[in-house]
Amino acid sequence: MSEAMKSVSIARKIERPNTRQFIERIFEDFMEFHGDRLFADDGAVVGGIAFLEKMPVTVVGIQKGHTLEENLECNFGSPNPEGYRKALRLMKQAEKFHRPVITFINTAGAFCGIGAEERGQGEAIARNLLEMSRLKTPIISIFIGEGGSGGALALAVSDSVWMLEHGMYSILSPEGFASILWRDSSRVAEAAELMKMTAKDLLKNEVIDRMFFEPKEGLEHNLDKTAVELKKALLETLPDLMKKETPVLLEKRYKRFRKFGEFTES
């Protein structure tokens, strides 16, 4: 198995720690909020306010389950538009009170069912991209597992993007890539290598800003160690971001993402 496919397999493990487990270990006094004030509450998106030691923060993440029952409750980590709207509602509230926003991302992609499309899935994702790009408070995004297409990007327009060692981030799955490019889904390992979707590739290409190594025995067997490292990094990074003047913060965020468009155009 290729290194890229190995990371894909690890990122997809059902035992892999989810957003709620990270929240429990990194933050204190988490108070979860529900609903988008338009349609319903989406179990695929978890969000609320908490304390990072003494610092009030807003935390939003995409949730996956460890059992069939849990995954049915959170739609296997594929948000509906109301999930993205709930996330945006919480981020706009954070902006009002100048709380930093931390997002956790682990999704194969946004839900593509008929109901989701009827309720404006594409518009909800696009609205998040627009609003996050100009949100007047710091944002840090952390990929803890899969990062699929716009479903992941909708929570990742941030000042700094981090990823665990066996996280992944791509425009679509390697299976989909192989099916489209070669009409042969059996070439998935080859596709994974070509897509440069692993944390090491993304760090090298400056798509992400920081990578965190995972315990050799597996993240699910020693989550506390990784949670401590993430908490320490957040405590070191957020104070500096909070000190930046808003125009400077937004300009740097804009340039961070604009450079990818310039690279494509060239």
Calculate the average pLDDT of the chain: 94
Express each pLDDT in 47-73 by its tens digit. 999 999 999 999 999 999 999 999 999
Q: Are 1 and 189 in contact (CB under 8 A)?
A: yes
User: Is the per-residue pLDDT at 262 higher than 60?
Assistant: no
Bridge-based pairing of strands 139-147 and 101-107 is: parallel
128-164 per-position pLDDT tens digit:
999 999 999 999 999 999 999 899 999 999 999 999 9
Q: Which residue has the tokens 């990371």?
A: 7
For 254, the token pair is 């804009």
Instruction: State how far the Cα of 157 lies from the Cα of 183, in Å rounded to an integer.
Output: 32
pTM: 0.94
Nearest to 209 by CA among 242, 249, 160: 160
220-246 tens-digit pLDDT: 999 999 999 999 999 999 999 999 999
Given pLDDT bands bounded at 50, 70 and 90, which one contains residue 26?
Answer: very high
Confidence band, pLDDT 50/70/90 cuts, at residue 264: very low
Q: Which amino acid is at 89?
A: R
Domains of the chain and CATH, by start: 3-265 (3.90.226.10)
